């Protein structure tokens, strides 16, 4: 974080955490509290392509499972960790789901080992509904650990490669050293963390460097560029657009360089005084008003806020920014869910990590509704998720097509937008008014840039058929 760095800074965070504020999202939005209390020090989350949500608990090493509208009592997996104290930035810190999860069941994690000596990148495999066979993939000693500045954010890009953010381990010189994995964004092929030939430094896992302490990575839904939240020292925090091979300046610079140095990359946005930006994502759903599509969200730890930024079409400049909502406490993970809503982790009980899971929904969403998405970002040759939101006890039938009617075809059940070229399995909606299906797309380059359209019909308990909205997924890979 920008804080804590000293006992005084820790005290400042305690005050910020305890000064809780009432939530006030924009008109038309509702915040739904899904879990409040049973979570302990949660810092990251990742959706499985079948709609289940995995949540990391920093201090316990548990990966919790949210399924069918409820947090399950038994953890999906437990990893031996050393988490330090209540406000330490160590323990189970990051998680990402393999784009080929339906075929291989792989989930990747970033954590501080039980001795507290180093951070590890590991791989789990789901077997019988739980995570098993923890395998360490990172080289021994590659990412030394401290109580702070360990990082741990993980995300898959549209290219199917795994991006991993690391902190400088309280040593600024580490961030500038290309032979050191601290203070970097690393880029790997999976499942074994091999180094891609396309990396900017041959034979090197480093994608970008010169980072101090980062907490979030997000993929631009159109340009495929990776964006990052980074905490500065005492001067400025940064939001960065990552350029392959870019040097982001730490420990020499915070914020915009003055005078300009052509060897380093300026942040897209900087904040002074520091706000401690943490979790981040782009909104990619179909259920919010159009002006929110592809907007960039992040949580700021110090101010208990969820912020929203609009970028230009190229993603290279800020157009506008606003506070989307004030939170009950500090924010951590934020992600667009496969139901087309924004999900987030927040905290109203102190310590580093969340105790609450919630989501933002908009009154604009039709009911029933449909959403198609890629929870891992990559879709070519990878998994996609369909979601039908309808009444509990109803039967939902989704279908897909590579085409869409130019104008809707009126029917007695509603507007028909998507030809029924590929009819999917009928499903019973049993909990949380949502039902999901996961699919594996063909790995054919001819599909890159193609649009997959989805629609569905819902038969409710009264015998009424209702068509959903159409939803679109552009194939990336």
Residue ranges per domain, the chain?
A: 7-362, 369-474
Sign of CA dihedral 364, 366, 372, 375: positive
Mean pLDDT by 10 residues, the chain (477 residues): 35 34 85 95 98 98 97 98 96 98 98 98 98 98 98 98 98 97 98 98 98 98 98 92 98 88 95 94 97 97 95 97 94 96 92 95 97 97 97 98 97 98 97 96 94 98 97 96
Alpha carbon of residue 355 to chain centroid = 17
Structure tokens at 225: 């560029």
CB 434 within 8 A of CB 339: yes
**Predicted confidence (pLDDT) per residue in 166-202, tens digit:** 999 999 999 999 999 999 999 999 999 999 999 999 9
The DSSP symbol for 450 reads P
CA distance 302 to 186: 27
Residue pair 137/162 in contact by the 8 Å Cβ criterion: no
Tokens of 146: 């401290």
CATH number for the domain formed by residue range(s) 369-474: 2.20.130.20
Fold of the 7-362 domain: Neuraminidase (2.120.10)
pTM of the model: 0.95
């Amino acid at each position: 974080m920008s804080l804590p760095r000293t006992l005084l800074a820790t005290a400042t965070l305690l005050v910020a955490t305890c000064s809780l504020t009432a939530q006030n999202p924009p008109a038309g939005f509702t915040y739904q509290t899904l879990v409040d209390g049973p979570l302990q020090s949660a810092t990251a989350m990742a959706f499985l392509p079948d709609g289940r949500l995995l949540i990391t608990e920093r201090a316990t090493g548990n990966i919790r499972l949210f399924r069918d509208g409820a947090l399950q009592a038994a953890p999906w997996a437990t990893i031996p960790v050393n988490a330090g104290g209540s406000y330490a930035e160590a323990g189970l810190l990051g998680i990402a789901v393999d784009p080929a999860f339906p075929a291989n069941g792989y989930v990747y994690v970033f954590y501080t080992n039980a001795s507290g000596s180093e951070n590890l990148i590991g791989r789990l495999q789901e077997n019988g509904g739980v995570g098993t066979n923890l395998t360490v993939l990172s080289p021994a000693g590659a990412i030394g650990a401290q109580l702070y500045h360990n990082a741990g954010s993980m995300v898959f890009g549209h290219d199917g490669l795994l991006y991993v953010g690391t902190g400088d381990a309280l040593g600024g010189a580490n961030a500038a050293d290309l032979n050191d994995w601290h203070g970097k964004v690393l880029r790997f092929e999976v499942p074994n963390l091999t180094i891609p030939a396309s990396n900017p430094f041959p034979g090197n896992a480093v994608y970008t460097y010169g980072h101090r302490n980062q907490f979030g990575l997000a993929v631009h839904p159109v340009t495929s560029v990776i964006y990052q939240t980074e905490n500065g020292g005492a001067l400025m925090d940064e939001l960065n657009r990552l350029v392959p091979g870019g040097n982001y300046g730490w420990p020499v610079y915070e914020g915009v360089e003055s005078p300009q140095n052509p060897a380093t990359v300026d942040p897209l946005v900087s904040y002074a005084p520091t706000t401690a930006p943490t979790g981040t994502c782009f909104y990619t759903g179909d259920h919010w008003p159009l002006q929110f599509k592809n907007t960039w969200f992040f949580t700021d730890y110090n101010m208990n806020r969820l912020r929203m930024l609009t970028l230009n079409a190229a993603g290279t400049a800020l157009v506008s920014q606003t506070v989307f909502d004030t939170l009950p406490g500090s924010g951590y993970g934020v992600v667009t869910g496969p139901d087309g809503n924004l999900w987030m982790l927040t905290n109203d009980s102190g310590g580093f990590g969340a105790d609450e899971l919630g989501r933002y929904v908009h009154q604009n969403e039709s009911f029933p509704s449909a959403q198609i998405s890629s929870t891992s970002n990559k879709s070519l040759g990878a998994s996609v998720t369909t979601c039908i939101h309808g009444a509990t006890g109803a039967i939902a039938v989704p279908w897909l097509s590579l085409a869409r009617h130019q104008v809707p075809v009126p029917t007695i059940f509603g507007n028909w937008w998507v030809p029924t070229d590929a009819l999917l399995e009928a499903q019973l909606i049993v909990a949380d008014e949502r039902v999901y299906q996961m699919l594996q797309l063909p790995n054919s380059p001819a599909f890159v840039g193609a649009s997959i359209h989805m629609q569905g019909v819902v038969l409710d308990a009264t015998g009424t058929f209702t068509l959903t909205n159409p939803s679109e997924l552009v194939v990336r890979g």
